[in-house]
Structures are given as C-alpha cells and as structure tokens.
Amino acid sequence: MNQPDTTPMRAAVSGSLRVALAALIWGAAYPLTKLVLADTPPILLGFLRFLLAGLFFMVSEQSLPLRDVAQEDRKCFIKLAFWGVFLLVLGMNFGLVWAPGIAASLLSGTPPLFTVVLAAIYLGEKLRLAQFVSIGLALSGLALLGGDVSTNQAGLLPWQIWVGCLLTLVPQFSWAMYGITGKRLSERYHWRTICRDTFTLGALMLLPLALIEVTIVGFGSWNWQTVAILFYLALFNSVVTYSLWNSALKKIPVSLASFLIYLQPVSGAVLSYFIFGESLGWAGVGGTALIFAALTLVLLPETRGKAQIKTTVAQNPG
C-alpha cells in the first residue's frame, strides 16, 4: 500500500518555523537597542551595526559594494541604502531614546499601512475604502498607545513618549519605501548582493554623522553586554534573519510568510516587559487592538501584485 507523500507538509512546517524564528529575532531588536542606547550614542551604534553586517556580506561574496551592479541600477542601490539603513537608523535609534520598548515593538508591525499609501503614490494603485479606514484606525490606535504605555524612564513627559513613538514610525515608513524601491532590483540581483550594498553603503552614509556625534558626546560606555548586543543586531538581526526568510520562501507561499512575520512585535513586547518592566493599560491594549485591526484590513485578499509588494516590505530587520 502506497504511503502518502509527506514531503510538502515537512517543507511547509520547516518554512513556517524559519519565518517565525526570523520574526522573533527581528522583534527583539527594539528592546535590545533601547537597552544599549542607555550607554552608547545612537548614530554610532547604527553605523557599527550595519558596518559589521556589510563586512560580513563583502567577505562572503568576496566583492566590494556595487561590484557587478549595472551602471543604470547604481542610483537605485544608493536609494536602498538611504531608506533601508540611513533613515531607518536615525528614526529607530533616536525614537527609542524616548519611546518605550513595548510601544516601539508593537509599532514595528505597521509597514503594510505605509505600503498601501506609497503604492498608490508611486505605483498608481487605487486606495480602497477599507484602506482609508485602516489608516484612521491605526492613527487612533497610535494616539491611545502613546498616551497609555508605562515606562521606567524618570522625567519623561507624555508628549516626549508620543514623539518617541512617532519617530519609531520613521523606520516603518523607510522600510516601506525600501520595499517599493527594491522591488525591481530583487528580480535582477541576488539577495546577498542587495544586502551587501544596502548595509555597506548605508554605513558609509552614517559615517560623517557618527564622526560628528563622537566629537560632541564621545564614544559612550562599552562593556561586554553592549558588544554582545551589537553583534546580535549586526549578525542575527540582519544576516541570519535574511537567510531564514529567503530560504523559507522556497518552501512556503509568500502569503503565509507575510502572515507569520507579524509574530515580530510579540518578542519585543515580551522582552520589554522583562527588561524594563513596561506594560500596557486598558487604553494601550485598545490602541494595540486598533492597530492590528488596521493591519487585518490592509492584509485582506488583494491583487497578486500588491501582495508581492507587501511581502517584500515584511523583510524588516528592525
């Protein structure tokens, strides 16, 4: 008697576990970055993180940035570095100075909200009524979340927490731009080449600001914990997660991978609770529910093209 072929099932389980692990690693970046920022300058931290990640890909690929990249595509690679590293670092690291880790982690799941708007602007895609509603829900949820989350940072005023939360939305916007900008390149270049150039060129963009920052405030205070978290952010949060994500897409549909990526805020929220003692009140819980309701509306079945864009944006290393 012939036994049923379980290979597709095993592949689906393996792919799903890889995406889930990548999402949990990405989510942990927010509270861990906040922990390190207590002792290190924000721009210097971002520069070192992406310099290490870029060096890894340069060594593994045995090539320098823009090697084997067509002349007409180089400007687009520079844009990728601006959106995917430069602006992401400035928004995330400065936002986390004031934003509670739990709020930043929950907001890390919002790139699809920006994607639908940017796709309408840059790709001419029509916004549906549900998407307008989702934007309104998300903004309402953000207002509730920013005003309700608890933090152990003494002296922070409510407006500072809101500003911090708004700044942590900058990397979500920049990653949506990164996904739209890189959509064409992802069809022509290997993902390791895109990582090599995004990370290395982005680090070079941050270098002048990092030098100015060090001149003004110094190098900060470094210890073994700080160094360990830096290597976690550079290697696990960039190199390992990209490997997990891209290998998983060979085993499972992009729609399933895109859904599983929303495990990302979970690990960050849990870590923020244990590291900083942060928690949400009822208003914060309600705000979080509104944000995820907005995400549900955005992720309702759409055209194949739009779904592909969203899954590209979901590759957020945080």
Query: Quick check: is 4 in a domain?
Result: no
- Whether residue 133 is contained in a domain is answered as yes
Residue 204 located in a structural domain: yes
Residue 189 domain-assigned (yes or no): yes
Q: How many CB atoms lie within 10 A of CB 11?
A: 14
Highest mean pLDDT among 14-18, 117-121, 252-256, 285-289: 14-18
- Tens digits of residue pLDDT in 286-303: 777 777 777 667 656 554
Looking at this protein, which amino acid is placed at residue 219? F
Sign of the alpha-carbon torsion through 226, 271, 17, 252? negative
In a domain, 1, yes or no: no
- Look at residue 297 and tell me if it is in a domain: yes
Q: Which position has the higher pLDDT, 115 or 26?
A: 26
Q: Name the burial class of residue 126, with classes exposed (0-12), middle (13-18) and buried (19+) by CB atoms within 10 angstroms of its CB.
A: exposed
The pLDDT of residue 130 is above 80: no
Considering the domain boundaries, does residue 318 fall inside one? Answer: no
Provide the b/e sequence for 277-287 (b: ≥16 CB within 10 Å): ebbbeeebebb
Residues in the chain: 318
Lowest mean pLDDT among 6-10, 88-92, 254-258: 254-258
Average the pLDDT over 177-204 and give the result.
84
Per the structure, how many domains does the chain have?
Answer: 1
Quote the tokens at residue 183.
């959509």
Q: Range of 98's domain?
A: 10-313
Q: What is the pTM of this model?
A: 0.75
Determine, yes or no, domain membership for 98.
yes
